[in-house]
Amino acid sequence: MKRFIYAVLSAAIFTSCETSLDVGAASDFEVTTKKTTYAVGEEVIFDVKGSPMMLNFWSGELGNDYGHKEGRIIRPGEIEFSFQCRHNYPNRTGGLMTVWVSTDFNGNRSSFEDVKAATWIEITDRCHLDRTSDPYVSSGIVNVTDLREEGKPMYFAFKYEFDPDKGSTGVIMYINDVLVRAVTDVGPYVFSTDLTNDFLLNPACNADKNPVKSENRGSALIMWPNASTSEHNGVTYTNTKYTEEYFVTSPFEVSKPLDVGPDKPITIKSHSDSRVDSYVHVFSSPGVYKVRFVGMDHSIKEMKETIKELEITVVESND
């Protein structure tokens, strides 16, 4: 009997709690302004009447536009490339590193023959390379937008040549912080990730180069000539012959539309905050903006929204 009474009481309590957490229509509220036209830099005061549990603000500006709350697709703008490099033993004259770009490479980065078959455009002269410096030096931001081809990926390559006729030893190159990005209206979009993902473990090289001598260590790409004599897989390599090798990046889709993710609201009231009677926003650019205030009321079962929309015109300031 006691068990039965306890079960009935528990069910009653649970039903009562569940009912109390139901939500009907979302709380109504109103948003008004004293006028509809403002100047750039002028405070826009939105007066709020009513108090939903939560209240989000969307200004209609880039990054805070309700119309893009599910996502924003944009075209990439300028394409920028940069890296850091170090010339270890810079006085050694036998080795030389140069920088290249291709848009018709077939993607087989381990094949020296396939790399050589592609069309490569040298961009070394666009980069800042201090060949007399041992410490890392930045290449500077290199604009390669003019080399982009519609519908084709872009590959970057670091080429290292050793010529024994120019010196018995060669500079040791350390390369890191390789960055490929697009300039967009919402800020930079980065295509590159890190050396481990963007480069193979070893470069593509000609037959006279020890294929595992140069390597991707994760922290840096190391490119240097053969030792005076070494052996790999039964083959002997020396530093008496011309060698050529390429560390090639993964492909970067620099001409395709970019998904930069959804715009985000500004939360001006959470469920634990006291009511909001007004909100102030300043527009930094002229235009016509669809401003939205989204009120939300929720229970454990559902959430309901009320949206209030205002059109605000922003003009250039006379100051």
pLDDT in tens, 114-139: 999 999 999 999 999 999 878 999 99
pLDDT of residue 116: 98
Q: Residues of the chain with pLDDT > 70: what percent?
A: 91
pLDDT band at residue 19 under the 50/70/90 scheme: very low
Q: Is the pLDDT of residue 210 over 80?
A: yes
Distances (CA, A) of 178 to 175, 198, 201, 247: 8, 9, 15, 12
pLDDT of residue 183: 95
pLDDT in tens, 249-295: 999 999 999 998 999 999 999 988 999 999 999 999 999 999 999 99
Domains along the sequence of the chain with CATH: 21-71+262-315 (2.60.40.10), 79-259 (no CATH)
pLDDT in tens, 64-106: 999 999 999 999 999 999 999 999 999 999 999 999 999 999 9
pLDDT of residue 26: 53
pLDDT band at residue 6 under the 50/70/90 scheme: very low
pLDDT of residue 18: 40
pLDDT of residue 271: 86
pLDDT in tens, 140-193: 999 999 999 999 999 999 999 999 999 999 999 999 999 999 999 888 999 999
pLDDT of residue 303: 81
